[in-house]
Amino acid sequence: MLSRKTKYGIKALTYLARQENQAPTSIATIAESEKIPHKFLEAILLELRKNSILGSRKGKGGGYHLMQLPEKIRMSTIHRILEGPIAMLPCVSLNFYEKCDDCVDEDACSVNKLMIQVRDNTLAILENQTLKDLI
């Protein structure tokens, strides 16, 4: 299941992507429009900023804005930042690989093979879809 954090994050990003001008949008504006708890959204946008997805401006008229064009922002990137690995198992993850405690032979593991299939498919979708496609 997708965490609320990721869900809120994607909704906030699409909100920003729908804005026509580059003017900053405040946390409060996004929170109200998308029905996201203000303080929770605050933390999410901060994390996206630290990962160079968003930029921010303080002071009056400040807020957040996208650092790239919506068509340049892949959903796989967003997923990895907010939700973590795309793979369903650590032993199947490309970016966060970890060996299983209980697995004697990974190549012979039935679960491993199945989940690699799922990962490849999900990854293909998330790499292909950009923020622009979600508008």
Partner DNA sequence: AAATACTCTACTAACCCTATAGGGTAAATC
Partner DNA sequence: GATTTACCCTATAGGGTTAGTAGAGTATTT
Query: What are the residues binding DNA (CB under 7 A)?
Result: 3-5, 8, 24-28, 37-40, 42-43, 45-46, 49-50, 56-64
Tokens of 72: 């340049």
Tokens of 30: 């996004």
Work out the angle between the directed axes of helices 75-82 and 38-50 (0-180°, nearest 10).
110
Distance separating alpha carbons of residues 67 and 50, to the nearest angstrom: 11
Picked from DNA, its own copies, none, the partner binding residue 121 (CB below 5 to 8 A depending on kind) is: its own copies
CB of 28 to its own copies, least distance (A): 16
Q: Does 28 bind its own copies (CB under 8 A)?
A: no
Picked from DNA, its own copies, none, the partner binding residue 11 (CB below 5 to 8 A depending on kind) is: its own copies
Start-end of H helices in the chain: 4-18, 27-34, 38-50, 75-82, 110-128, 131-134
Q: Which stretch binds its own copies (CB under 8 A): 20-28, 44-52, 56-64, 84-92?
A: 84-92
Picked from DNA, its own copies, none, the partner binding residue 94 (CB below 5 to 8 A depending on kind) is: none
Tell whether the torsion through CA atoms of 91, 97, 102 and 103 is positive or negative. positive
Picked from its own copies, DNA, none, the partner binding residue 52 (CB below 5 to 8 A depending on kind) is: none
Q: Does 101 bind its own copies (CB under 8 A)?
A: yes
Neighbours of 101 (CB within 10 A): 5
Residue closer to its own copies by CB (options 18, 50) is 18
Distance separating alpha carbons of residues 94 and 116, to the nearest angstrom: 10
Q: Does 19 bind its own copies (CB under 8 A)?
A: no
